[in-house]
Amino acid sequence: MLAFMGGVELDLRHARLDPRGTTIRVVAVMGGVVIIVGPDVEVRCDGRGVMGGFGDLSGPPTTPPPIGTPPLHVTGLALWGGVEVRRRDREAIPPV
């Protein structure tokens, strides 16, 4: 994922992550990326910030993840920008 002089919000609260593991590679150049995860997702954040920030602000899972579920890996680079992982409760998906 690339954010160049702009912003991205990636909401994964209702996503089905790969049971073998999921890695998201993020590059933010003079922009920002916010990744939102649900209450039962374990996150491993391994990125670098150069004159910017790259961090996991989600804290530990608020509900236990299913047994054997691998964590979500977030890696990449923030150059004069920022990458954040945040945790929010899942909201009901409105009917179509």
pLDDT tens readout for residues 65-89: 888 788 999 999 999 999 999 999 8
User: Does the global pTM surpass 0.75?
Assistant: yes
- The CA distance from 30 to 52, in Å, is 9
Percent of the chain with pLDDT over 90: 59
The domain segmentation of the chain, as residue ranges, is: 2-87
User: What's the N-to-C CA distance of the chain in angstroms?
Assistant: 28
Mean pLDDT of the chain: 90
